[in-house]
Amino acid sequence: METNSKTSFQVTLVMVLAFIAGFIIMAIELLGGRILAPYFGSSIYVWGSIITVFMLSLSIGYLCGGKLSLHNPNLKIYGTFFATAAVFLLPLVFWSNLIMEFLFLRIEDPRYGSLVVSMLLFFLPTAIMGMIAPYSVRLMVESTHGSGHVAGKLYFISTLGSALGTLATSFYLVLWFEVNQILVTMVATLVLAGAAAIITGTRSTANAS
């Protein structure tokens, strides 16, 4: 998406998708405690492992997303982040119990067992979703003069999504739905979000040509 071709719809779309990404990141982190509990409990060790993995993966995602945003940033690439994150969430839906059982029987210390499981289940999808925030900023920046304002607005929206994702998941979703139902809904949401970005980016390129 070139600087002079940005439309209000595209800007709004990026903000909405950044909100969705923030919501899903925190929802998955909270669900992580529920997912690991049957095998590793819900002690401070388990939560320490989950939080560590999320912070590490997000930091790497921010770094990679920032670097990728330097090379012809566009909505089509942006959309692939959402679609790829959805793909890497699928093992969490279908094979998390098999992975946890395998490692539970082989790693006696629950601290390291929960850490290894958290890395296997959460690292890749979270790192990919971490790429969304810095890439969103680059898509919205029209000049270096306003870059700080744009970054502040995007991180506000993303963090607001994370806050609402935390409340919605902990207060309501885990009471109303099974964990896998929530995860499947998130996968579908990411796929739709990615499709919206890719379609919009394709149409924008076609119109520009």
Dump pLDDT digits (tens) for 76-91: 999 999 999 999 999 9
Per-residue pLDDT of 157-175, as tens digits, reads 999 999 999 999 999 999 9
Single out the residue of 103, 118, 92 nearest to residue 184, CA to CA: 92
Residue 178: pLDDT over 90: yes
State the CB neighbour count (10 A cutoff) for residue 112: 13
When pLDDT is cut at 50, 70 and 90, the band that residue 5 belongs to is: very low
User: Could you tell me if 40 and 113 are in contact, meaning their C-beta atoms sit under 8 angstroms apart?
Assistant: yes
pLDDT tens across 33-65, in order?
A: 999 999 998 899 999 999 999 999 999 999 999
3-class DSSP state for residue 193? helix
For the domain with range 3-202, which CATH number is right: 3.30.70.3190, 1.20.140.10, 1.20.1250.20, 3.40.50.300? 1.20.1250.20
By C-alpha distance, which of 107, 110, 97, 106 is closest to 40? 110
Mean pLDDT, the chain, whole residue set: 90
The percentage of the chain sitting over the pLDDT mark of 90, rounded to a whole number, equals: 72
